[in-house]
Structure 1
Amino acid sequence: MTLISTISEPQSTLAEALSNRPVPKIRIAAFCETTETHDMVALAAIDRRMMRANIDFQMGGTKTAIRQYSNAPTPDLILLERQVPGDLLLEELGRLAEVCDAGTRVLVIGASNDIRFYRTLMDRGISDYLVSPTDAPTLITAIGRLYEGADAQKLGRTCAFIGAKGGVGSSTIAHNVASTLADRLQYDVILADMDLPFGTAGLDFNIDSAQGMVEALESGDKLDELLFERLLGKCSERLRMLVAPATLERPYDLGEEDVDAFVDMARTSASHVVLDMPHLWSSWARRMLVAADDVVVTAVPDLANMRNTKSLVEALRKARPNDAPPRLVLNQIGVPKRPEIKIADFVKAVGLDPLVAIPFDPKPFGTAANNGQMIFDVAARSAKPFAAISEALLESSGGKRRGGKGWGFLSRLSPRRRSA
């Protein structure tokens, strides 16, 4: 197999300065004086990093906030826009402080761009100050910084792989990309098989594990580093995996909070977390896709895939306004005697260029699947698309092409691990 297309799509720069750390589960109230700031807060509220926060925003300044909280508890964070002279603002903030509960933080958006005034606000106990006009990424970064402790661990990046339709090869691509990142590019990687009843990661890596994905999701508050490490199956020196049970003995109804806890633990344990997503649209699956740092949609060139890809891309663009669009991988190009939609027509319809287009090449892929191997181990030339996808994901995260420092307890538990 050869790589027949590698198209580099310019990625959005909106999220370049944004952290990949989610804002914790807090209550936020915003009081806006201008419609521009109101609209900006509304845009920030739907950002994936703010998914866990509960945000209420309205028009009104300091007087509105004081009136609202005179006889009611204050939220964790108050965002206050006030376009008045510094002396008046300080006086109003003093009155606001009288009705604020202990522990409530205040972030002010104002017109003054004076470092001395900023220092005065900090001395008065204001948590942060932004000069208007500002934008949603700047506000999200400021909020995240308020709740990021000095000892906070660096978080790994999550990449969710999903097929536009069943049987398009999304899992095969996810598994081979995870292997490439770990074994060829030397990053610590966790592969999570989220297709609990029908997952194939255990088969593809020839791993038989009685524990794994379900146990991690159902452990709740008991999921700590030691338990998490015990549930991980070892594929190679730098690749660990959570295996799906792949049985139909019970239904698998996941809660959003369980999924959040699992992803949080995985991101503190490896530099890259590859999520092999099933082809479904549930509340938890949508949440994982929206919250992922990168999303890769795999499709084959037919009408159903084109329709589903268009729907996925539009939904994720709407839900992730401050992030780059999903990555598109076209797979199984050139199946003999199968009518296909031309790549150019597919791209025009979905509004997204493919990162790679992979030709139909059944022999190495079938051999690898039946033997529990990766494509690189069967036919190295056929693995070029996975290297291209891996390097594109590294580029979007600012990672280096070669090397990569391991993070989290996985690094400490691997004595034979080479330093990068």
Structure 2
Amino acid sequence: MFYQFYELNHAALGPFRAAADVTKLYFQNPLNPFTHTHLGRSMAAACELFERTTRRYGKPEFGIKTTLVGGTRVPVTERVVWERPFCRMVHFERGLEAGRRHDPKVLLVAPMSGHYATLLRGTVEALLPRHEVYITDWIDARMVPLDQGRFDLDDYIDYVISMMHALHGEAHLIAVCQPSVPVLAAVSIMEQNDDPYAPPSMVLMGGPIDTRISPTAVNKLAADKGIEWFERNVIMQVPFPHPGFMRSVYPGFLQLGGFMSMNLDRHMTAHHDFYRHLIKGDGDSAEKHRDFYDEYLAVMDLTSEFYLQTVETVFIDHALPRGQMMHRDRRVDPSAIRRVALLTVEGELDDITGMGQTQAAHTLCSNIPADSRADYVQQGVGHYGVFNGSRFRSEIAPRITDFILTHDRGRARGMAAKPSATVPAAVTTAAEKPASSKRGSRPSISLVK
């Protein structure tokens, strides 16, 4: 009944949000003598703060209209090229002249962990100048009717394989955080099947491959509580009138509560600062706050079977690194991967996925040649900074592009005699990396890195 109570509470606050909107407009009207007083600005700021903290945030738009390719600004069009009940694959189609460029394709596998794929807007923008970018646009589970069936971790893996088939194996896989496990499993299955559509390379970024290494608060919570606690406390049914009525889910608002509780003081300070910026008329700072929280507070429901299977497989049983992960009735064997190059990326200050958890993929993928693997640790960034922000654009994205270009099948034939070119500058192979770099202090993560 908790989900129903949440919906009722949201509906009950509707008239108050409307009243707050009207009051804000009243105190922002230039003809109102109170508008330019401290009282008027305080009232308008308080009303906006109330409305924003009680509204439900819908799915944001990617909003990428143009990109710069070879010094020329070209239009970008979103086009759905593959679709299933729980996911769409979106292609960011660049308006280039036919035959002008043949940049490598990348399939950006977005996290299915509460936020929408638009959280990777900055990642897409950074990759577009040098790549044909596709992204997994996951669907909010409460919007999927019950008659469309269930969706679990096995289905997730099948979706990734199906998308690679749709792209004819030409796309390089990039997994951000949570998808690292199912992406590694999907590539393992494809290699076990000798699938010709296996990707040329995969990039795993801040992913929980082995959460026994440098466990974080998130990892410890799952291990301490056990799967039965999650079944009893976080799984609910979608209420009427949502299309997914009666579907068993892990609600987005509960996930958001968990996200915010990890840095509650920072969020409270951010909203207090927002209030002060509005009173002072600091429009730039206020707009940055709006942009960040419009994205951060937009969350989606996850199917219960996917969430519980992921928690149990990845965080409780550590099935993949222990060699016990199953895809349906078949064991997942990363050592079967031989043709797919591997790059892992971690953040020095990541307090969601601890240092070394993603690097563990190199140990599991023991048969990938040494000149087809690399590892990179970005200094001074937390979890969010691994895939977004200034450090990502200036330091991480160029290394990903270099790695992909090096291992792109269309270029690889002409570079076969240059094994030394397979590891980009400033990127060390897993074998060469000092063991001490896998550990380190991890100060609290900043909301925006």
What TM-score do you get using the length of structure 2 for normalisation? 0.28
Considering Cα pairs closer than 8 Å and 6+ residues apart, tell me whether 1 or 2 has the greater RCO.
1
Structure that is richer in helix per residue? 2
